Amino acid sequence: MSLPIPPQRPSMCPRQASSSSFADAFDDARRKLDEMGVQEPGEDEVLSPSLSASSSATDVSAATAGVESPSPLSPATPTTVPITPMVEDVADNFAFAFDIDGVLIRGGRPIPEAVEAMKVLNGENEWGVKVPYIFLTNGGGKFETERCHDLSEQLEIDVRPGQFICGHTPMREFADRYGTVLVVGGEGEKCRDVAESYGFRDVVTPGDILKANAHTAPFRKLTDKEHANSRDLLARHGAEKLSDIVIEAIFVFADSRDWASDLQIILDIAQSKGGRLETRSETFDEGPPIYFSHNDVLWSAAHEHARLGMGALRRIVETVFEDTTGGKKLKTHAFGKPQVSTFEFATRLLQQWRATQHGLRQTKPPATVYFVGDTPESDIRGTNAMDAISENEWYSILVKTGVYQPGTEPKYKPRKLVDTVLDAVNHGIRREMARLASGKDTGGRILPLNDVGLKAVAEGQSPDIEGQDSFLTMA
Ligand SMILES: [Mg+2]
């Protein structure tokens, strides 16, 4: 028998039929939120990089959930109650999704509790149950297969591309929309290679433009290797002059390695006549669309303090565009967390992963997805926003091993605040087991409950889900 599905919360917005692509989903999600009068996170607004600022009026869920303090453990005597076996020892009713930097990895090394957390999900828990999980990072700049290989070694598990989304993964679904595109960011030619593997047909890099006109960025000189790797734009396009070449869209795939020259080139094209290189618009409203793979202003790296991320470049692009065009506004787009469309993309990936890896082929998504992150502005905000519009529950858990500074009030409130990813995993599994124990179906599997929890179940009560630690044996 499978886990009983807990009572569904009232749906604020009935789930529509799945979109066929991320590009469609991106548009659908924006339309849906417009209809609801909800501003999608990260769009059309300037976010403060401050971690301690008060909640924004656009936070659709922070008001509904406060930060929980860890519940005091009950000293009551441990005992057990039988509960239902699960299909092939796989939890079919809930799943986990993880941010990576600051949650599992920091500065290229695994956070100590992360390896243990993965073991718990893979069945090394007191119930012997495996829990499906995926990874959802805003980072990028490598092929998904390469990042999965790295993660596999770091976490001592086998991570597959089928359970992995990085910042630029959804961009693959835009490959058919545009011909010539500018791809920015990453090491060397890597992001061009990734973009071409996604199916983009004509990928121009800032290096190509600097090679064609070295005066583009006065203080940037290509190295011999960069010059050799960069393409001859005129020859490739059969053009006589650069203004014959039209950039149809700009994609910032990964963090810029040279902000000054990349900023200059992005702004040149944003202010061009319809994307034509080396031209200047008179109206400053005809540049091509600009997409950033995410919007994180800060991220957790090896340094003691959080480092500037792509979201900072996005703000600079928009601000300087306005400053240099007499006040014209530049509208750019961001994927990644906290965009709801990225979480919808994750939902589809999770469904595929549950079906192919765990044999869970039912059409319903898991009743609850626990999302574990370290950045309130992207991880928690996005999870809460997804929860607000989704039929199933998206439950945000904030850890203290990354961007979030313990002791401060997070701008976007998680459902649960814990020390490490291991605490997050244990919290989610125990919460599910407490739910299970509170249901009617209790034959089979053994669930350790303390006397308080047992009494509640015996009396037909539902354990207090949010404070359920006090019902469980914590041995
Ligand atoms: Mg992070």
**For 99-147, what is each residue's pLDDT tens digit?**
999 999 999 999 999 999 999 999 999 889 999 999 999 989 999 999 9
Q: What percent of the chain is modeled with pLDDT above 70?
A: 73
Show the 3-state SS of 184-233: ECCCCCHHHHHHHHHCCCEEECHHHHHHHCCCCCCCCCCCHHHHHHCCCH
Q: Are residues 320 and 180 in the same domain?
A: yes
How far does the centroid of ligand 1 lie from the alpha carbon of residue 120, in Å? 21
How far does the centroid of ligand 1 lie from the alpha carbon of residue 261, in Å? 27
Q: What percent of the chain is modeled with pLDDT above 90?
A: 64
Domain that holds residue 405: 22-42+73-167+338-471
How far does the centroid of ligand 1 lie from the alpha carbon of residue 86, in Å? 32
pLDDT score for 276: 98
How far does the centroid of ligand 1 lie from the alpha carbon of residue 136, in Å? 10
Place of tokens 């990349």: 262
User: What number is the average pLDDT over the span 31-36?
Assistant: 47
Q: Are residues 208 and 320 in the same domain?
A: yes
Q: Please write the tens of the pLDDT for every residue from 255-272.
A: 999 999 999 999 999 999
How far does the centroid of ligand 1 lie from the alpha carbon of residue 364, in Å? 28
Omega before 410 within 30 of 0, i.e. cis: no
User: How far from each other are the two terminal CA atoms of the chain, in whole angstroms?
Assistant: 27
How far does the centroid of ligand 1 lie from the alpha carbon of residue 84, in Å? 35
Q: How many domains does the chain have?
A: 2
Q: Are residues 303 and 386 in the same domain?
A: no
Last residue of one domain, picked from the residues 286, 318, 334: 334
How far does the centroid of ligand 1 lie from the alpha carbon of residue 100, in Å? 6
Q: Are residues 422 and 316 in the same domain?
A: no
How far does the centroid of ligand 1 lie from the alpha carbon of residue 376, in Å? 9
Q: Does any domain span residue 370?
A: yes
Q: Are residues 183 and 305 in the same domain?
A: yes
Q: Does any domain span residue 442?
A: yes
pLDDT score for 445: 37
Which tokens hold the place of 165? 């989304």
How far does the centroid of ligand 1 lie from the alpha carbon of residue 263, in Å? 25
Q: Does any domain span residue 68?
A: no
Q: Are residues 199 and 324 in the same domain?
A: yes
Q: Are residues 199 and 137 in the same domain?
A: no
Q: Does any domain span residue 2?
A: no
- CATH for 223: 3.40.50.1000
366 Cβ contact partners less than 8 Å away, ≥ 6 residues apart:
91, 92, 93, 94, 95, 132, 350, 354, 392
Last residue of one domain, picked from the residues 334, 365, 396: 334
How far does the centroid of ligand 1 lie from the alpha carbon of residue 294, in Å? 12
Tell whether the model's pLDDT for residue 426 goes beyond 70: yes
User: What number is the average pLDDT over the span 441-457?
Assistant: 45
Q: Does any domain span residue 430?
A: yes
Q: Are residues 31 and 162 in the same domain?
A: yes
pLDDT score for 365: 83
Q: Are residues 222 and 257 in the same domain?
A: yes
Confidence class of residue 87 from pLDDT cuts 50, 70 and 90? very low
| Residue 292 backbone phi and psi in degrees, to 5 | -105, 140
Cβ atoms of 84 and 360 closer than 8 Å: no
* Helices 421-438 + 451-458 axis angle, to 10: 30
How far does the centroid of ligand 1 lie from the alpha carbon of residue 105, in Å? 9
pLDDT score for 31: 52
Q: Are residues 261 and 224 in the same domain?
A: yes
How far does the centroid of ligand 1 lie from the alpha carbon of residue 323, in Å? 31
Last residue of one domain, picked from the residues 334, 369, 388: 334
How far does the centroid of ligand 1 lie from the alpha carbon of residue 226, in Å? 31
Paired sense of beta strands 109-110 and 180-184, if any: unpaired
* Helices 112-121 + 144-155 axis angle, to 10: 100
How far does the centroid of ligand 1 lie from the alpha carbon of residue 167, in Å? 12
Of the candidate ranges 49-53, 138-142, 320-324, the one whose mean pLDDT is the lowest: 49-53
How far does the centroid of ligand 1 lie from the alpha carbon of residue 441, in Å? 38
pLDDT score for 23: 56
Tell whether the model's pLDDT for residue 361 goes beyond 70: yes
